[in-house]
Structure 1
Amino acid sequence: MTATTPSLPGATVLDLIEAHVERHPDKTAVLCGQDRISYRRLWDAAHETADRLMANGCSRGDTVALVGPGNAEFMTAALAAWLVGAAWVPIDPRLPEERIRYVLDDTGARVVLATAEVRTGTGVPTERVLADAPAADPARVERLRRQRATADDRAYLIYTSGSTGRPKGVAVGHHALAVHLLGTLDAYRLTADDILLSFASPSFDAAVEEMWAPVAGGGTVLLRGSALWTGRQLFERVRAHRVTYVSCTTAYFEAFFGEELTAEDVTSLASLHGIIFGGEAVNPAVVRRWANGPLGSVPVCNTYGPTETVVTATLYWIGQGWQGDRVPIGHCLPGHVGIVLNADGEEVADGESGELYLGGPCVAEGYLGRPDLTAQRFVELPGRDGIHYRTGDLVAVQGQELLFLGRADRQVKIRGFRIELEEIEAALRGTDGVRNAVVGVEQRPDGGDRLVADVVPVDLADREAPAAFRAALRGALARSLPDYMVPSEFRFHADLPLGVTGKVDRARVLAEAGSTA
């Protein structure tokens, strides 16, 4: 499955945005809260921050950490990093201090750009927060002109859960990002007249697409910032700003758009041209309800894609009257190539299934400082050009469309977050009082799947009086893992059964407990 690659000789996101600054400087680029920021104001603010970065020693090839919500200040900081030729890594200020420091040390980030509200009371090390720049220096201004990122430079890093017990940084280059954004404009049908509402947190890779695709195309992005809107608040903002596209997680789509719409809801959403969602499998009943409801003429788009191939790799548009029982993940966006191979490495025929490999110019550089993992997942395929990312996802080929079937390994998704169960198990085994542990997913009828840990304590007393030990385990994990990776339930055992290889029989443990791997 191959899509046409957008023509983009040597351009970057900076080049695309600068062209819009020159064509329509006063047009609104970003809406956030009460702020309405024009292309010129965004561009000038980025240059001011870039001057501060340069005065603090940042230069081409460095990494700048961005800590804060997805607001206009975040976008300004990201542009500033690119202007000095640096890449950026987003960090959620709610993460444990241990994890924040791990990312900073792993990337070698020279400085931290943090919004005012997160500079205190979080795990952000204040000694790395960017200092104010001295007075403007003409020599610095000239250096800035020469130093900005090119298509060959790295654009950003996003950290994902790691199967080896520690998170891994996915490095994405400027060329891959720019090709993807141009392909996104085509695939999502976005124009300079559109306003896209972005929901994703900046530490989630979907935010890269949601923030930058609209402004790369000369349109407008409406940012949620740190606010967690109710469905009513979301609908009101769509009405107030005449939003044409909403991009959100599958869970948000199901929660906000999947219920019966009132006449007031229909009026509020009248400006919509489409809704884009992704992150996990969608409930087909919710899609049917929308497609056959009062706003069924507004198409919805189911998307799929790993961080390693620049956010979205495939999409499937669903129109009015849709009545399917499973929602495909669709076909490749421009700039992406999909190949489905069986266990023997042979491409499967229509109607067959296998593992999905993704290639094309939108494949990431690999995992930062992890050549072993990069070699395992970023591979060359016989008879195929370029590097392909081995997704670990099983799909079925149905004509020109793909249907997601599940994982070939132990990676799971909870509330849209990609989680390697081995990372949680490694954290548990490194906790005082734990001899062994297995983590699985409990699938619930209401769809609210949750993580469950089966633990063997060192001390018999912890097994027989578990309440205090549960609290201790939760506290220990919360110091090193994001909250969505802390199991909801802990079950204690004298031992865990072994398989014929002498290793823990995970399948048996989880099956007996009613969980899955």
Structure 2
Amino acid sequence: VVVEHRNTLNLVRWEASAYTAEELSGMLAGSSICFDASITQIFTPLSAGGTVIMADNVLSLPTLPARDEVRTVFGVPSALSVLLREPLPEGVRMVLSGGERLTAALVARIFENPGVRRVLNMYGPTECTTGSTLYEVTRGHQGEPPLGGPMANAVLSVRDADGRPVKDGDVGELWIGGPGVTRGYLGQESDAFRTEPDGSRVYRSGDLVRWVDGELHYVGRADD
């Protein structure tokens, strides 16, 4: 996936204003730079005067010399589940989850750590630069957290198989537009990237979702 500087800059600017100075003062960077989550972990805090705390991976947190300086942890739920076999360092204030479905049970385990104030569920294909939706999960949340609403200036629409918008509450495929949509695949054309009548580019995610009370809920994959 060819992620351009403008895509990255859009994400970083948005996140720098969405997260607090404390949350950005100690961001754990445990993802490979080949993984798009590293944009959030490295460039977002640095752009806002924060601090990046390097680690081999998120599971290295308990043994890091600087573990008590970590304020934000960003990981996929499967890795977070392993990490949470032990209490998080007391200084962790925010946990960002992305890349897999976040369960209510895992959210409850995260909030068992009294220092944690925010849990964010982030969704977004690499084709749209890391994050397209965000939902803040509150303590005591019941049920699977939704995907939430648009982040980083994403433009979201839910459409049927013919590309027509569906009614709120109906299941359809998530199409994503906005400045996060990347150039596409290197050396490869794909009909997942489309040009709208107004000239804007959109990406067909292949994910089935529905709008419920203003929040996107994940249903499954269109190709399952």
Q: Aligned match of 1:298 in 117, 135, 145?
A: 117
**Residue 186 of structure 1: how far off its partner (Å):** 2.4
Mark the CA change 1:173 to 1:248 in structure 2 (over 3 Å): closer, same or farther: same
Q: Which has the higher contact order (CA 8 A, sep 6+)?
A: 2
Q: Which residue of 2 aligns with 1:103?
A: none
* SS of residue in 1 equivalent to 2:3: strand
Partner Cα separation in structure 2 for residue 253 and residue 400 of structure 1: 28
Partner Cα separation in structure 2 for residue 277 and residue 220 of structure 1: 20
Q: Note the alpha carbon deviations across 1:260-288, whole angstroms, 9 max, x for none.
A: x6xxx36x32x222111111112321213
| Aligned partners of 2:23 and 2:93 also within 8 Å | no
Amino acid of the structure 2 residue aligned with 1:392: G
Q: TM-score, with normalisation over the residues of structure 2?
A: 0.89
| Aligned partners of 2:31 and 2:58 also within 8 Å | no
Q: Aligned match of 1:198 in 21, 29, 36?
A: 29
Q: Which residue of 2 aligns with 1:428?
A: none
| Aligned partners of 2:24 and 2:48 also within 8 Å | no
Amino acid of the structure 1 residue aligned with 2:193: F
Q: Note the alpha carbon deviations across 1:390-429, whole angstroms, 9 max, x for none.
A: 111111111221111111126xxxxxxxxxxxxxxxxxxx
Partner Cα separation in structure 2 for residue 385 and residue 238 of structure 1: 47
Q: Which residue of 2 aligns with 1:232?
A: 62
| Bigger Rg, structure 1 or 2 | 1
Q: Note the alpha carbon deviations across 1:345-368, whole angstroms, 9 max, x for none.
A: 222222221100111111101111
Question: Does residue 1:346 correspond to 2:164, yes or no?
Answer: yes
**Residue 202 of structure 1: how far off its partner (Å):** 1.8
Q: Which residue of 1 aligns with 2:140?
A: 321
Q: Which residue of 2 aligns with 1:176?
A: 7
Q: Which residue of 1 aligns with 2:195?
A: 380
Q: Which residue of 1 aligns with 2:79?
A: 252
Q: Which residue of 1 aligns with 2:95?
A: 275
Q: Which residue of 2 aligns with 1:210?
A: 41
Q: Which runs of 5+ in 2 are unaligned?
A: none
**Residue 172 of structure 1: how far off its partner (Å):** 1.6
Q: Which residue of 2 aligns with 1:436?
A: none
Q: Which residue of 1 aligns with 2:208?
A: 394
Corresponding residue pairs, total: 224
| Aligned partners of 1:200 and 1:249 also within 8 Å | no
Q: Which residue of 1 aligns with 2:183?
A: 365
Amino acid of the structure 1 residue aligned with 2:158: V
Q: Which residue of 2 aligns with 1:505?
A: none
| Aligned partners of 1:296 and 1:321 also within 8 Å | no
| Aligned partners of 2:59 and 2:82 also within 8 Å | no
Taking only aligned residues, the RMSD between alpha carbons, in angstroms, comes to 2.4
**Residue 256 of structure 1: how far off its partner (Å):** 1.5
**Residue 209 of structure 1: how far off its partner (Å):** 2.2
Q: Which residue of 2 aligns with 1:220?
A: 51
Q: Which residue of 2 aligns with 1:188?
A: 19
The within-5 A match list for 1:101-116 is none
Amino acid of the structure 2 residue aligned with 1:274: M
Amino acid of the structure 2 residue aligned with 1:285: A
Amino acid of the structure 1 residue aligned with 2:38: A
Q: Which residue of 2 aligns with 1:471?
A: none
Partner Cα separation in structure 2 for residue 306 and residue 193 of structure 1: 23
Q: Which residue of 2 aligns with 1:285?
A: 105
Mark the CA change 1:345 to 1:332 in structure 2 (over 3 Å): closer, same or farther: same
* SS of residue in 1 equivalent to 2:2: strand
**Residue 199 of structure 1: how far off its partner (Å):** 1.7
* SS of residue in 2 equivalent to 1:179: helix
| Aligned partners of 1:247 and 1:277 also within 8 Å | yes
| Aligned partners of 1:192 and 1:218 also within 8 Å | no
Q: Which residue of 2 aligns with 1:312?
A: 131
Partner Cα separation in structure 1 for residue 171 and residue 121 of structure 2: 20
Mark the CA change 1:248 to 1:294 in structure 2 (over 3 Å): closer, same or farther: closer
The within-5 A match list for 1:82-101 is none
Q: Which residue of 2 aligns with 1:87?
A: none
Mark the CA change 1:232 to 1:326 in structure 2 (over 3 Å): closer, same or farther: same
| Aligned partners of 1:296 and 1:319 also within 8 Å | no
Amino acid of the structure 1 residue aligned with 2:185: Y
Q: Which runs of 5+ in 1 are unaligned?
A: 1-169, 411-517
Partner Cα separation in structure 1 for residue 124 and residue 59 of structure 2: 25
Q: Note the alpha carbon deviations across 1:42-64, whole angstroms, 9 max, x for none.
A: xxxxxxxxxxxxxxxxxxxxxxx
| Aligned partners of 2:76 and 2:99 also within 8 Å | yes
Mark the CA change 1:295 to 1:365 in structure 2 (over 3 Å): closer, same or farther: same
Amino acid of the structure 2 residue aligned with 1:355: E
